[in-house]
Chains A and B, each alone.
Chain A
Amino acid sequence: NAGVTQTPKFQVLKTGQSMTLQCAQDMNHEYMSWYRQDPGMGLRLIHYSVGAGITDQGEVPNGYNVSRSTTEDFPLRLLSAAPSQTSVYFCASSYRRLPNEQFFGPGTRLTVL
């Protein structure tokens, strides 16, 4: 099993550009989520999904869109990148039941100039 994979590992964007961060998992997990990690802020939940076709907002959803057409994939879209979105982004997945032990991808480091 590859677990949770994320691409790309690094990305530099200019303000106003759009891009999609890819996330895939091969563990048949129903629950998938996106976090951003900023110094001193811990991990903050952006969006999450409890299954194909179902998504919901987390703590910091503004500026990000998600969709979930398959169980395996959960891409995160930045429609118009801003410098405030410079961060490290982590995707995670788990079974849709407590205790909700989440498995994390290796992260994408995004810089917006």
Chain B
Amino acid sequence: AQSVTQLDSQVPVFEEAPVELRCNYSSSVSVYLFWYVQYPNQGLQLLLKYLSGSTLVKGINGFEAEFNKSQTSFHLRKPSVHISDTAEYFCAVSANLGGSEKLVFGKGTKLTVNP
């Protein structure tokens, strides 16, 4: 079965600083990877996804993530964050496991952007 580890539960940064949110996964088969964002008191929305092809994936709001198969990682980055990026971010993985459609989530990383 696949699993996801988000290495940091909380990440505080100052406005306009760069940020990296780390995600590692484990799976015995090829995977599809996602980052979701949850703003305060809202549901989850898709930030970006890796399905195949280029390992550098660009998403909404200036975020990008790089798929690294050898390190089984899918870290999320933004070169300059804004106050409005304060949210919780979830990494998720799905895999072809004989028909299983489940999406497995990490425990989330709370990003707090301070002025």
Contact = CB atoms under 8 A, between A and B. Distances in A.
A and B associate in one complex: yes
Interface of A: 31, 35, 40-43, 45, 48, 50, 58, 90, 92, 94, 96-107
Contact of B94 (A40, A45, A48, A100): A100
Contact of A42 (B32, B34, B43, B108): B108
Interface residues of B, number: 22
Contacts of B46: 101, 103
Contacts of B9: 40
A15 B106 CA distance: 30
A107 B94 CA distance: 22
A43 B90 contact: yes
B78 interface: no
Looking at A35, A102, A106, the one whose CB has the most chain B CB atoms below 10 A away is A102
Nearest to B46: A101
Interface string B27-65: 000001010100000111110010100000000000000
- Please list the 3 inter-chain residue pairs (A to B) with the smallest Cβ-Cβ separation, ordered nearest first: A99-B32, A42-B107, A100-B94
